[in-house]
Amino acid sequence: MTFEVTGRISAEVEALLREPDIGSGLATKRIGNALHLLQVVDSTNDEAAALAARGAPEGAVVIADAQLRGRGRMGRRWASARGMGLYLSVILRPPIQPHEAPALTLVGAVAVADAIERATGLVAGIKWPNDLLLRGRKVAGILGEMAADASSLHHVILGIGINVHQGETDFEGELRQTATSLRIEVGGAVDRSGMARSLCESLDEWYDRFLTYGVSPIVESVRRRCLTLGRAVTARSGDHEVSGVAVELSGAGALVIRDASGRLHRLVAGDVTLTG
């Protein structure tokens, strides 16, 4: 079913997020123990990183009603108009080594998919490692950025952007063919405060599983939702590029790609394009 939802929405729906609306009834161990709600920022990831550098606790969350320089992976721009989406970043300080940090992007992907399902009933698929899709169109993305030295991870900022209130005409250019929003898929308005609360609770639960049991339950959940496995892909990591078929996720969450010669490549992190 396709919903034709166009035009901007009412001032009531675009109302600013308020801390009491999100924090009231929030039941979490870590995530959301401190909420920083801001109207307009360059980037919630930058705001959270500055807080982390000043010693903000694990679980502190930054949410903005708009971002001037929202970004995704590979420096791509993330459209962040006021009231249209949920723009959230959380500070994590897990006791892991820097090379293990990419697993936190998968934690975020599973948590976002779970939160969307709880809040709307929609079942989102995961395009490894960091995109959430509904009907093949991107509805959310995750950007993990870490501060570390050679042997120690200081913190990870997990940034999450969810398209909530956009109508068809709110997307520009090619995004009209590749992006969607919760409003489009549901066919009506979605409570952003409720979505933020659901996201904090889901992140809290999945992050706790990661700290308690390691990456295994995260990878298993990604496998169940993964839209990348079995597909022809082109993957880029730094200057390295490989094309082939995505055949598996490793136990640590790496994407395993079989190229045309049969050789297997393990991609721990990177940018993946579905080509078939």
CA distances for 25 relative to 3, 19, 192, 197, 231, angstroms: 32, 11, 15, 9, 42
pLDDT surpassing 70 at residue 220: yes
Average pLDDT over residues 114-121: 96
207 or 27, higher pLDDT? 207
Closest CA to 164 of 194, 144, 136: 194
What does the pLDDT read at residue 205? 98
Is the distance from CB of 271 to CB of 235 less than 8 angstroms? Answer: yes
Q: Give the pLDDT band (50/70/90) at residue 17.
A: confident
d(CA 96, CA 150): 13
The token pair that represents 276 in the structure block: 């078939």
Tell me what pLDDT residue 23 has: 85
Token look-up 């093949």 returns 136
Token pair, residue 99, equals 């090379």
What's the pLDDT score for residue 219?
Answer: 98
Task: Identify the structural domains of the chain with CATH numbers, from first to last.
Answer: 19-224 (3.30.930.10), 228-274 (2.30.30.100)
Which of residues 1 and 96 earns the better pLDDT score? 96
pLDDT at 36 over 80: yes
**Mean pLDDT taken over the chain:** 90
36, 61 in Cβ contact below 8 A?
yes
List the helix and strand counts (H, then E) for the chain.
Answer: 7, 12
Q: List helix spans (H) across the chain.
A: 19-23, 44-53, 103-120, 175-178, 182-186, 192-213, 216-225
Q: At what angle do helices 216-225 and 103-120 cross, to 10 degrees?
A: 60
Tens of pLDDT along 38-48? 988 999 999 99
Alpha carbon distances (Å) from 202 to 59, 70, 121, 143: 13, 23, 14, 17
Residue 119 has pLDDT above 60, yes or no: yes
Rounded to an integer, the average pLDDT of 175-188 is 93
> Could you give the angle at the alpha carbon of 245 between the alpha carbons of 240 and 249, nearest 5°?
85
pLDDT of residue 210: 98
CA nearest to 206, candidates 194, 195, 217:
217
Q: How confident is the model at residue 110 (pLDDT cuts 50, 70, 90)?
A: very high
Residue 11, pLDDT > 60, answer no
pTM for the model: 0.91
- Pairwise CA distance, residues 34 & 55, whole Å: 12
At 231-246, the pLDDT tens digits run 999 999 888 899 999 9
Rounded mean pLDDT of 147-169? 94
What is the arithmetic mean of pLDDT over 196-203? 97
What's the whole-number mean pLDDT along residues 163-178?
Answer: 89
Q: Which of 82-91, 161-170, 257-266 has the highest mean pLDDT?
A: 257-266
pLDDT digits (tens, 9 = 90+) for 126-135: 999 999 999 9
Four-CA torsion 28, 34, 35, 36, nearest 10 degrees: -160
Q: Are 49 and 41 in contact (CB under 8 A)?
A: no
Share of the chain above pLDDT 90, in %: 75
